[in-house]
Amino acid sequence: MPHPIPSRPDGWQPKNVVVEALVAHYRGAASRTGPAEGGGELAALAGMALVLGVGLLQMTGSVLTAVLIPLVTAGTGALVVIGTAKPAAPPPGVDVFAARGGAGSLPAGYLVSPDVWDLGMAQRTVDVPAPQLQAAAQLCREFPGSVNRLLDMVATIDAQRDAQTVTDEDRTRRIVREVSVASQRARAPKPTDLLAFGPQPAAFVQSGGKPAEARTRG
């Protein structure tokens, strides 16, 4: 059974113009695969137009009047219905991002986005334990990779849990702590990385205050 959308305490939501353009494209495509709202109103308009046409034909004897007036009336009503109808919801259980690697290939922040939840993210996370999903939601803003990578990392950390993490809250807190530490270690520059760029200018090796060159000129 799909999880509800995980939430963050700060209410943060991702913003990415490329992803949002894809979301708009796929949401429109998914909506067109099912019947749009307003179908009942259109059928009712067609029935009313037919009744009106028969009545006008009996009253006026003019076929042109019996056809033209109902047609104009029904057409105007149809435009109103179509203009105000909401698109149908995407078919359940369909990952519309499948051709591009699935919803899990989106940036990690989209784990908490309601815009993509019913477009495939709910299906991607259906087998993720609730403590892992909640931990991933807390980590997704800072995580530099995809939803898949974040969930894989969270699952790896959770698999190493000890007997002391007996509650879901304990598991979530431990996962967040361990993944944060691992991410900081991964981002920390190694000595070999610094040596690859040669000796660093004085401005980059000061522990605080003004750069050395600036103090000399001052």
Query: Does 27 score more than 90 pLDDT?
Result: no
Q: Please state, in angstroms and rounded to a whole number, the distance separating the CA atoms of residues 203 and 111.
A: 40
Residue 90 main-chain phi, psi, to 5 deg: -60, 150
Q: Please state, in angstroms and rounded to a whole number, the distance separating the CA atoms of residues 15 and 140.
A: 13
Residues facing 107 on adjacent strands: 146
205: Cα within 13 Å, side-chain hemisphere: 6
pLDDT confidence of residue 211: 45
The pTM of this model reads 0.57
Residues 97-146 pLDDT 10s: 888 888 999 999 999 999 899 888 999 999 999 999 999 999 999 888 89
pLDDT confidence of residue 119: 87
**42 vs 162 pLDDT, higher one:** 162
Residues 55-76 pLDDT 10s: 666 777 776 766 667 666 666 6
The angle subtended at Cα 66 by Cα 61 and Cα 68, nearest 5°, is 140
pLDDT confidence of residue 24: 85
93: left (phi over 0), alpha (psi -120 to 50) or beta: left
Q: Please state, in angstroms and rounded to a whole number, the distance separating the CA atoms of residues 156 and 168.
A: 16
pLDDT confidence of residue 54: 65
